[in-house]
């Protein structure tokens, strides 16, 4: 199966900017941005981010406010603060042996950086990789990581896999199966997440008087380190 998968990947692989580098910082930026965010939205933000802050030292020297403003449009803004904190730790102490000690880095992100940046023989298992392995019943090697991600994202889809064009279909035990719809994320429109996003966008434009803001949302953003209080004003952190 692995031979067929890698041959398919060589013919069809997506040309993504983070696949053109082994720089661990660039890989880390891409992986943090890709958490719960579509590839198409990430690409322009990723390119602009690395153009502005090409190294961990550059990002560490930026203010949290600058980082939050640059993150606008990606959602889940806590990731921006975590990425800035991780860059600060790396700039001060170097890359840790255990990458999960970095803010915002869990087991999957750590495995992705170890594989794609440091060339370590570890397979990062995201939802796409897990789906392909589960359906085929095959354990793929770390060398197949990018291929598995592409297959899961474009062919072995969660509900209606495209078995007719799958390079693994001949030996796949799940060929032809259809699956129940996955539980969708709660709607953004009208949600508390939307209220947070809109208030943060307003504060990113300029400080706002707290009296005119949603107090519950302000407290939530304060707790996450996304805003600060300066007297009667709500501002971005320094």
Rounded to whole angstroms, how far apart are CA atoms 26 and 41?
17
Q: What is the pLDDT of residue 27?
A: 98
- Confirm whether 31 is a catalytic residue: yes
The structure's pTM equals: 0.89
108 and 68 in one domain?
yes
As given in the structure block, the two tokens for residue 7 are: 């041959």
Task: Tell me, yes or no, whether 46 lies in a domain.
Answer: yes
3-state SS of the chain is CHHHHHHHHHHHCCCCHHHHCCCHHHHHHHHHHHCCCCHHHHHHHHHHHHHHCCCHHHHHHCCHHHHHHHHCCCCCCHHHHHHHHHHHHHHHHCCCCCHHHCCCCCHHHHHHHHHHCCCCCCCCCCHHHHHHHHHHCCCCCHHHHHHHHHHHHHCCCCCCCCHHHCCCHHHCCCCCCCCCCCCCCCCCCCCHHHHHHHHHHHHHHCCEEHHHCCHHHHHHHHHCCCCEEECCEEECCC
37 and 109 in one domain?
yes
Task: Tell me, yes or no, whether 73 lies in a domain.
Answer: yes
Rounded to whole angstroms, how far apart are CA atoms 62 and 84?
8
96 and 59 in one domain?
yes
Task: Encode burial over 50-87: b for 16+ CB neighbours within 10 A, e otherwise.
Answer: beebeebeebbebebbbbbbbbeebbbbbbbbbbbbbb
214 and 166 in one domain?
no
Ramachandran sector of residue 104 (left: φ over 0; alpha: ψ -120 to 50; beta: rest):
left
112 and 54 in one domain?
yes
Task: Tell me, yes or no, whether 142 lies in a domain.
Answer: yes
Tally of structural domains, the chain: 3
Rounded to whole angstroms, how far apart are CA atoms 39 and 45?
10
Residue 84's domain comprises 23-116
Q: What is the pLDDT of residue 180?
A: 79
225 and 157 in one domain?
no
100 and 68 in one domain?
yes
Catalytic residue, candidates 4, 31, 143, 198 = 31
61 and 36 in one domain?
yes
Task: Tell me, yes or no, whether 80 lies in a domain.
Answer: yes
Mean pLDDT of the 107-135 span: 97
Give percent of the chain with pLDDT exceeding 90.
Answer: 91
Strands 228-230 and 208-209, by their bridges, are unpaired
Task: Tell me, yes or no, whether 212 lies in a domain.
Answer: yes
Question: How does residue 189 score in pLDDT terms, banded at 50, 70 and 90?
Answer: confident
107 and 38 in one domain?
yes
What is the per-residue pLDDT across 25-43, written as a single tens digit (0 to 9) for each? 999 999 999 998 999 999 9
Task: Tell me, yes or no, whether 209 lies in a domain.
Answer: yes
Task: Tell me, yes or no, whether 13 lies in a domain.
Answer: no
166 and 107 in one domain?
no
Q: What is the pLDDT of residue 179?
A: 85
Task: Tell me, yes or no, whether 18 lies in a domain.
Answer: no
40 and 111 in one domain?
yes
Q: What is the CATH number of the domain that holds 42?
A: 1.10.340.30
132 and 112 in one domain?
no
């Amino acid at each position: 199966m692995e031979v067929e998968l890698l041959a398919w990947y060589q013919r069809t692989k997506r040309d993504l900017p983070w696949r053109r580098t082994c720089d661990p910082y660039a890989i880390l930026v891409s992986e943090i941005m890709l958490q719960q965010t579509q590839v198409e939205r990430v690409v322009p933000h990723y390119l602009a981010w690395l153009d502005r802050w090409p190294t961990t030292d550059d990002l560490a020297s930026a203010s949290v406010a600058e980082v939050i403003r640059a993150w606008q449009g990606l959602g889940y803004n806590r990731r921006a603060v975590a990425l800035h904190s991780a860059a600060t730790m790396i700039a001060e102490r170097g890359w840790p042996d255990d990458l999960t000690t970095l803010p915002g880095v869990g087991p999957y992100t750590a495995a992705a950086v170890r594989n794609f940046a440091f060339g370590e023989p570890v397979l990062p298992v995201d939802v796409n990789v897990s789906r392909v392995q589960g359906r085929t019943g095959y354990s793929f090697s770390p060398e197949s990581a990018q291929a598995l991600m592409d297959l899961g994202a474009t062919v072995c889809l969660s509900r209606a896999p495209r078995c007719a064009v799958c390079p693994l279909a001949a030996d796949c035990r799940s060929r032809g199966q259809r699956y129940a719809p996955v539980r969708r994320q709660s709607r953004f429109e009208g949600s508390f997440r939307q209220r947070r996003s809109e208030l943060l966008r307003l504060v990113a434009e300029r400080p706002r008087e707290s009296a005119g803001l949603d107090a519950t949302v302000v407290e939530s953003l304060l707790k996450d380190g996304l805003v600060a209080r300066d007297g009667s004003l709500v501002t971005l952190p320094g």
